Structure 1
Amino acid sequence: MARDLESLRNIGIIAHIDAGKTTVTERMLYVSGAKHRAGGVDSGTTETDDDPEEQERGITIYSACVTFNWKKITINLLDTPGHVDFTAEVERCLRVLDGAVVVFSGREGVEAQSETVWRQADKYNVPRIVFINKLDREGADFYRVLDEIGPRLNAQPVPVQIPVGMGPPHVKDPFRGVIDLVDMRLLRFSAEDDGKQVADEPIPEELLDDAQTWREMLLESLYSINTEMMEMALEEKPIPPEVIRRALRAGCIAREIQPVLCGSALHGMGVQPLLDGVGHYLPTPLERPPVIGVDPKKRDKELQRLPSVDEAFCALVFKILPAKTGDLYWIRVYSGKLESNSRVYNPNRDKKENIAQLWQIHATKKERQGQVQTLECGDIACAIGPRMSITGDTLCDTREMIELPSIQFAQAVLSMAIEPENTAERKKLSEVLEMLKRQDPTFNAVENEESGQTLISGMGELHLDVIKHRLTRDFNLNVKFYKPRVSYRETIGSKATVTGQCNRQIGATQLFARVDIIVEPLEDRASDAIVLDQFFGEHALPDNLKAAVMEELRSRAQGGGAIGSFPLTGLKISLVGGEMREVGSDEVAFRIAANDAFEQALQQGTPTLLEPVMRLDIITPEDYLGEIAGDLQQRRATIESTESRGTMTGLIAFAPLKELFGYSSAIRSLSQGRAGCSMEPHGYQAAPESDVESFGF
């Protein structure tokens, strides 16, 4: 797909659940002419929510990609979920995007998952613009939401539009248009055609003073970015709109500011100016920094690829959709060209892969817009043919290799035991679970051969509920489901310095090895175990023996702990000494000694059971705050803060996941359905002694 990179925008729509992301996407497709009729989330007719589970629940579960044209630009748009259980979909999309539109509800404002997706965008250095949506709703307040964005997200929002009125038609001053502060014009949107017709009018006299005040604030925020504007202001010259847009674009791409637009996507109000904003302010692939990777043969050697067709090919696999005709690999091409019927190299697996077909993505696997012969840098598309690659892997030129940073996903926090009804179902279940693991990096499944049960793990109750429905409805499996349980982790509570030994007689050979290690807890208990080689000097072990020890320590660090064989986390393991003899000190002996040292360290280091903790963001009328706070205390929660959010009260708390099963129903019961709650993983804390004792430790 040969493209003009100057006119290409790879963007995502990200937000808290129910802020209106999918509706924004749907209206963009409609006003751009890519669809003849706008679908609705409630009616299950949107382009990007085509999975039955999404249509039934009225939420986005799987990210979907659509490509369309707007004026002189081509937009690759990824619509993402808002629910925290499906945050991996946001993570993988932001990893490959050049820019993002962050949607906030004009009524609810900055919510818990808003903060999560904003942090994810910060992590990947993604420039973004803001769209404050739902300004036609009761209680909507553009200025309150604007005031929340800066302090809560550590952001620099710069309004380029302000609303004319707020609220539904029956209020005294309803939302009826927006004022463009760059062109200083009033934009009205036709209700008859859902915003396809935009009336561009002079600003009425009664609104002019307010508009001038906000325009001055806009210009002042840009003087430090654009010296040309500063000079024009000092000379009291009028500043042309194109100069203002240039400054806004530069500030947005540098992530110094976030231009703010507004409207009501449900009625198409503000969607056309939002599309203009995507073209004006978000970067092309050429304006993003080169991708950085390493030489897979010399990992200390850093490499980079510029966004150019003249560079060697490299791309990242960011999503896999299983299909009977061959798995669909969604890839982002960062440099060079990729031809169909070609071979590429995967440095993560050290394998060559075939690229049989290339497709332009449209929505999800059920619809592919068209087969293409070539992809070029900047493209987001689908490849069919690879067999070994997984999400986060690099595909590159077989002669000029590079390995890009992979995608790091959150660990599963909730598990559920499942069991096939009969042996005939067992093999089918195993195949389906393998397919789901390829599709979803936050889903895991481990079979226990002794009990015949399989433990499936995910990011929360909704995540596991969706998996349950897929197994029974989509794949027609007869499976028993058991009550969900928390996914514990294990660590140690204190530093342990130990010596592991091997003194074994095997045949005529006396094996001998001694290994000295120090194991200590990391401050970040949720982090992966770190294994370090700190054994140097004249008595250091030969490379092959040291490598055997390090490999054994890494293998044990990825295994289970001493309490309930739960995964180990938050450990630092240092190899600090060892001893060998001329006869009988081989790799086997040192592996035995390393394993012995590790087991001793787990026992001496105060084994500690860790339980996952969730961050709760609750919004409730003041009348129910006392009952909700009391209920939280019974759930072992810690309340961090309360604050006024318009007519409601916001409450931030941290509570163990074990105590939060069914909490969304409980909070509705406590508040007569008027309070709401969202939660996200926060970390791990030491579990109560009663939990430890339940595992017989």
Structure 2
Amino acid sequence: MNKLNLGILAHVDAGKTSLTERLLHHAGVIDEVGSVDAGTTQTDSMELERQRGITIRSAVATFVLDDLKVNLIDTPGHSDFISEVERALGVLDGAILVVSAVEGVQPQTRILMRTLRRLDIPTLVFVNKIDRGGARPDGVLCEIRERLTPAAVALSAVTDAGTPRARATALGPGTDPRFAVRVGELLADHDDAFLAAYLYEDRVLTGKEYAAELAAQTARALVHPVFFGSALTGEGLDHLVCGIRELLPSVRGSRDAPLRATVFKVDRGAHGEAVAYLRMVSGTLENRDPVTLHRVDHTGRVTEHTGRITALRVFEHGPAADPSLATAGDIARAWGLKDVRVGDRAGQLDGPPPRNFFAPPSLETVIRPERPADAGRLHTALRMLDEQDPSIDLRQDEENAAGAVVRLYGEVQKEILGSTLAASFGVRVRFDPTRTVCIEKPVGTGEALIELDTRTHNYFWATVGLNVGPAEPGAGITFRLAVELGSLPPAFHKAIEESVHTTLRHGLFGWQVTDCAVTLTRTGFASPVSAADDFRAATPLVLMDALRQAGTEVHEPVSSFELEVPGTRIGLVLAKLAELGATPGVPTAEGDVFRLEGTMPTSLVHDFRRRVPGLTQGEGVFLAEHRGYRPAAGQPPVRPRPAGPDPLNRDEYLLHVLKRV
């Protein structure tokens, strides 16, 4: 049987969870369509999801269309949970992007479509809510072509839009005389062979040939078919199901190939055990199989972690998973991999690690337990949540050991985190005000050395010399050798490199150091006295001495924005942008609406987004995306350094470290 891993993505409240319910009902998986408002949907299984009526975690449900098995992955729509969407994107064969026929193309919709196009994921567009008051299918189709993709082709049309009588009818050569012309011209734009056949006067292309070329170009993400309907009533669903079956590419992998799978989600079972969700790429997996997990850490280093499957369930019917053999294309739940993390790759490691599609969270907050006695439970709970969502980047609070620091995309995520800790772990918490996460970059070069001398007293039985300087933008941290590779035992080299990456998580102002080139210039050791711990302890002192000489500059995150404003409000909006320190471009008029692009500090995005409805009388549209970093204006913001030995204070550092070396 062919298999298709299908993602459903949308701006919040566009109706994607309702569409998931309708598809499961259409396929006979459920007898009754669940309601988001009533909290009876299949894929919103968390109590918080049912209470709030939003999707927080990705969920999987499976159904069968003829000879096609579809693993449906329902993803969050709120921008604060974009990391869940990112993990799902890495395992998809195709996607359905849901757009509301009332609200039209919304900010998050545009971000999602840009990413889908960038990744060449075959995508169908479903325009939902055609039966709602205010539905405007023709206008929304124009928005899709203008704001999402010019290669959108409508495969259905709507009558009686905005009323309970709304109907979607399939379009084709037999129903619309101009259909073949519109579709033919669009397909001819992307394929020279089809263009030649389309223009050939002695032969008219058949409907099957149009359909075959449409499927081929959809599978290559060159064109994007658009369907209209209502997830609430099921209208237009037949057309969408036909598109899923005939237009999106399915897979049938070889069982004889080596095992390759990706962990895209980690849950906790009834007894607190880790449950890994794996997308099978090739090979097979069954109960009691040994598995090697490959993990890429923040330094780019690949580590191996071994385990054995103690139970395996393959999604076969709705949200249910049965004991079975997992093969290529399957989504499986696996127990027994105690050290599993999101992003791990199981089996054979091929190619570079998957890259991040969205920017990392640019906010952070400190979480503290309301009752100091709950500190231990809080840290245990946060470690479990960090396994499920590594983007929170958990670390201990620098000023209070009872607290912890986590990264966030927004305030809604912070509210959900607090509710989860209270409801699932029984720990009530309070949050410090959210702060923006900056980075540091070296501005000059510096060099430092600790030298081993067997004739004198040594704090460390190690010689370490380091040079620090700027690297290319986007390079992260590069570690180079200006010494012979064999000048030290491999374990000592490894200790130095690991210590460099760990130390640079906190620069002169406390922020992560990046775009930094570190060169090992001197080494030495005294056998058999020297140990890896000597090099691990000496490196931070040398590195921070060199970094202090080089100097660093704090950079704050900056976002690009797009803004649509009624002409009567453009002056007020421009004044507010100037007041906030944003850098707007020149407004361009499109009828009675002005479109404006520019940049602003990411720290201002949340506040400005809240102000847009009031500034524009509810008619403005605001879209912002992370666009990198720029030097922070004024006094550089400082982040407290972690508790423990501080290599910027030599005497204090030696007092702490020498107890262990």
TM-score if structure 2 supplies the norm length?
0.84
Distance in 1 separating the partners of 2:121 and 2:612: 35
- 1:655 shift after superposition: 2.5
Distance in 2 separating the partners of 1:441 and 1:531: 25
Distance in 1 separating the partners of 2:134 and 2:630: 39
Describe how 1:185-584 pairs up with structure 2 within 5 A: 185=175, 211-223=176-188, 225=191, 227=193, 230-231=196-197, 234-286=200-252, 307-325=253-271, 326-348=273-295, 349-361=303-315, 369-396=320-347, 405-406=353-354, 408=356, 410-448=359-397, 451=400, 452-492=402-442, 494-502=443-451, 513=463, 515-524=465-474, 528-533=476-481, 535=482, 541-542=487-488, 544=490, 546-557=493-504, 559-563=505-509, 565-575=510-520, 577-578=521-522
Distance in 1 separating the partners of 2:42 and 2:627: 33
Distance in 1 separating the partners of 2:310 and 2:523: 54
User: Residue 225 of structure 1 contacts residue 247 of structure 1 at CA under 8 Å; is this kept in 2?
Assistant: no
3-state SS of paired residue (1:184): coil
Residue 86 of structure 1 aligns with which residue?
81
Residue 303 of structure 1 aligns with which residue?
none
Residue 50 of structure 1 aligns with which residue?
45
User: Residue 488 of structure 2 contacts residue 523 of structure 2 at CA under 8 Å; is this kept in 1?
Assistant: no
Cα gap change, 1:345 to 1:512, in 2 (>3 Å): closer
- 1:390 shift after superposition: 0.5
Q: Which residue, 146, 171, 174 being the options, matches 1:184?
A: 174
- 1:246 shift after superposition: 1.3
Equivalenced residues, count: 628
Q: Which residue, 15, 36, 40 being the options, matches 1:20?
A: 15
- 1:167 shift after superposition: 3.9
Cα gap change, 1:269 to 1:88, in 2 (>3 Å): same
Q: Please list the CA deviations of residues 276-296 of structure 1 after superposition, one character each: whole Å capped at 9, or x if unmatched.
A: 10111111124xxxxxxxxxx
Cα gap change, 1:272 to 1:478, in 2 (>3 Å): same
Distance in 2 separating the partners of 1:314 and 1:695: 42
- 1:582 shift after superposition: 8.7
The amino acid across from 2:58 in the alignment is S
Q: Which moved more, 1:246-255 or 1:416-425?
A: 416-425
Distance in 2 separating the partners of 1:391 and 1:641: 43
Q: Which moved more, 1:334-343 or 1:402-411?
A: 402-411
Residue 61 of structure 1 aligns with which residue?
56
3-state SS of paired residue (1:689): coil
3-state SS of paired residue (1:266): coil
Distance in 2 separating the partners of 1:335 and 1:590: 42
User: Residue 643 of structure 1 contacts residue 651 of structure 1 at CA under 8 Å; is this kept in 2?
Assistant: yes
Describe how 1:118-157 pairs up with structure 2 within 5 A: 118-137=113-132, 140-149=135-144, 152-153=147-148, 155=149, 157=151
3-state SS of paired residue (1:248): helix
For structure 1, the 5+ residue unaligned runs are: 186-210, 287-306
Cα gap change, 1:479 to 1:693, in 2 (>3 Å): closer
Cα gap change, 1:582 to 1:478, in 2 (>3 Å): closer
Q: Which moved more, 1:605-614 or 1:617-626?
A: 617-626
3-state SS of paired residue (1:121): helix
Cα gap change, 1:157 to 1:688, in 2 (>3 Å): same
Cα gap change, 1:690 to 1:263, in 2 (>3 Å): same
User: Residue 332 of structure 1 contacts residue 379 of structure 1 at CA under 8 Å; is this kept in 2?
Assistant: yes
Residue 572 of structure 2 aligns with which residue?
627
User: Residue 178 of structure 1 contacts residue 263 of structure 1 at CA under 8 Å; is this kept in 2?
Assistant: no
User: Residue 466 of structure 2 contacts residue 543 of structure 2 at CA under 8 Å; is this kept in 1?
Assistant: no
**Percentage of matched positions with identical amino acids:** 27
Cα gap change, 1:282 to 1:428, in 2 (>3 Å): same
3-state SS of paired residue (1:74): strand
TM-score if structure 1 supplies the norm length?
0.80
Distance in 2 separating the partners of 1:220 and 1:329: 46
- 1:105 shift after superposition: 3.1
Distance in 1 separating the partners of 2:533 and 2:321: 56
Distance in 2 separating the partners of 1:141 and 1:642: 27
Residue 612 of structure 1 aligns with which residue?
557
Distance in 2 separating the partners of 1:645 and 1:63: 38
Cα gap change, 1:140 to 1:642, in 2 (>3 Å): farther
Cα gap change, 1:547 to 1:102, in 2 (>3 Å): same
User: Residue 366 of structure 2 contacts residue 397 of structure 2 at CA under 8 Å; is this kept in 1?
Assistant: no
- 1:337 shift after superposition: 1.3
Q: Is 2:600 aligned against 1:655?
A: yes
Distance in 2 separating the partners of 1:136 and 1:554: 56
The amino acid across from 1:84 in the alignment is S
For structure 2, the 5+ residue unaligned runs are: 296-302, 642-647, 649-661
Cα gap change, 1:637 to 1:165, in 2 (>3 Å): farther
Cα gap change, 1:66 to 1:586, in 2 (>3 Å): closer
Q: Please list the CA deviations of residues 539-572 of structure 1 after superposition, one character each: whole Å capped at 9, or x if unmatched.
A: 9845646555434333333x20101x22223323
3-state SS of paired residue (1:690): coil
Residue 289 of structure 1 aligns with which residue?
none
Residue 96 of structure 1 aligns with which residue?
91
User: Residue 502 of structure 1 contacts residue 589 of structure 1 at CA under 8 Å; is this kept in 2?
Assistant: no
Q: Which moved more, 1:415-424 or 1:643-652?
A: 643-652
Distance in 2 separating the partners of 1:226 and 1:264: 37
3-state SS of paired residue (1:560): coil
Distance in 2 separating the partners of 1:178 and 1:674: 32
Distance in 2 separating the partners of 1:682 and 1:228: 39
Residue 296 of structure 1 aligns with which residue?
none
